[in-house]
């Protein structure tokens, strides 16, 4: 960081102006801590953000970061941990559990944490009798298929949490939230199982970056 004036170095700039005054690369440089031989932490941050910027970094996996010169296991872990803390800050409010009364409110709750995942994940959002959040749980990772998402896994999770209702959700890494034929079949299967179990399946929400598809909004659930 020797080529940058002392008062413009990320750490000093943060102390002087606050974190809101820093660019994405400067904040990432602080997370990294230091650079490597002849490469500053800011240069290293710029290299990480060069391919897709912050949005691509939100979807990065450890192996992708490890391919960059100067990024080892420890630094990759630091970056991914910082990103995960940011995600959780969006989804964890105060002690009062959020009450989700519409598909849009469900999507706004889930998108920051699960909408930009690099691989497909299927989960359930568990709710109490007043549709307040109990927890969100991921049940499977990988291409969605009825053979790996079984009703017993879904309703075992719901029963263990004492849930009165649930919302199915999964993400589409492609960025297109439109449901596949398999998504439709799985929704129908789990909704029918919910009737037998006495646990309402309120919706199936497909997340895609900043967009979503709700079976309930489309009157398909």
Whole-prediction pTM value? 0.63
Confidence of residue 147 (pLDDT cuts 50, 70, 90): very low
Range of the domain at 39: 6-91
Q: How far is CA 31 from the centre of its chain?
A: 20
The CATH number assigned to the domain holding 42 equals 1.10.150
Q: Is residue 220 part of a domain?
A: no
Q: Is 197 exposed, middle or buried (0-12, 13-18, 19+ CB in 10 A)?
A: middle
Count structural domains, the chain: 2
Same domain (yes/no): 149, 86: no
Q: Is residue 176 part of a domain?
A: yes
Least confident window among 119-123, 133-137, 141-145, 164-168: 141-145
Same domain (yes/no): 119, 198: yes
Interior/surface letters 114-135, b for 16+ CB within 10 angstroms, e for the rest = bbbbeebbbbbbbbeeebebbe
The CATH number assigned to the domain holding 192 equals 3.40.140.10
Strand order in the sheet with 165-171: 133-141, 121-127, 165-171, 200-208, 211-214
135, 97 contact by CB (below 8 A): no
Q: Is residue 54 part of a domain?
A: yes
Confidence of residue 3 (pLDDT cuts 50, 70, 90): low
CA distance 113 to 130: 23
Task: State the chain's mean pLDDT as an integer.
Answer: 86
Interior/surface letters 141-153, b for 16+ CB within 10 angstroms, e for the rest = eeebeeeebebee
Does the pLDDT value for residue 132 go beyond 80? Answer: yes
> What pLDDT, in 10s, does the model give residues 38-69?
788 888 888 888 877 887 787 788 888 888 88
Same domain (yes/no): 46, 117: no
Confidence of residue 90 (pLDDT cuts 50, 70, 90): low
Same domain (yes/no): 121, 200: yes
Q: Which letter does DSSP use for residue 173 in this model?
A: T
Same domain (yes/no): 58, 132: no
Same domain (yes/no): 42, 66: yes
Q: Give the tokens for residue 80.
A: 């991914």
């Amino acid at each position: 960081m020797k080529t940058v004036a002392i008062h413009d170095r990320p750490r000093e700039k943060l102390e002087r102006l606050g974190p809101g005054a820093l660019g994405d690369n400067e904040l990432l440089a602080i997370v990294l801590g230091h650079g490597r031989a002849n490469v500053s932490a800011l240069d290293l941050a710029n290299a990480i953000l060069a391919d897709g910027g912050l949005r691509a970094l939100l979807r990065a996996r450890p192996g992708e970061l490890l391919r960059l010169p100067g990024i080892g296991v420890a630094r990759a872990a630091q970056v991914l941990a910082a990103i995960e803390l940011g995600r959780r800050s969006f989804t964890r409010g105060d002690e009062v559990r959020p009450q989700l009364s519409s598909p849009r409110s469900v999507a706004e709750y889930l998108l920051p944490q699960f909408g930009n995942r690099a691989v497909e994940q299927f989960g359930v959002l568990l709710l109490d009798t007043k549709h307040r959040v109990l927890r969100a749980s991921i049940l499977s990772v990988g291409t969605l298929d009825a053979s790996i998402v079984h009703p017993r896994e879904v309703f075992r999770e719901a029963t263990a949490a004492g849930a009165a209702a649930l919302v199915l959700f999964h993400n589409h890494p492609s960025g297109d939230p439109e449901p596949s034929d398999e998504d439709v079949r799985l929704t129908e299967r789990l909704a029918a199982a919910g009737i037998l179990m006495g646990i309402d399946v309120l919706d199936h929400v497909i997340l895609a970056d900043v967009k979503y598809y709700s079976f309930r909004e489309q009157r398909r659930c």
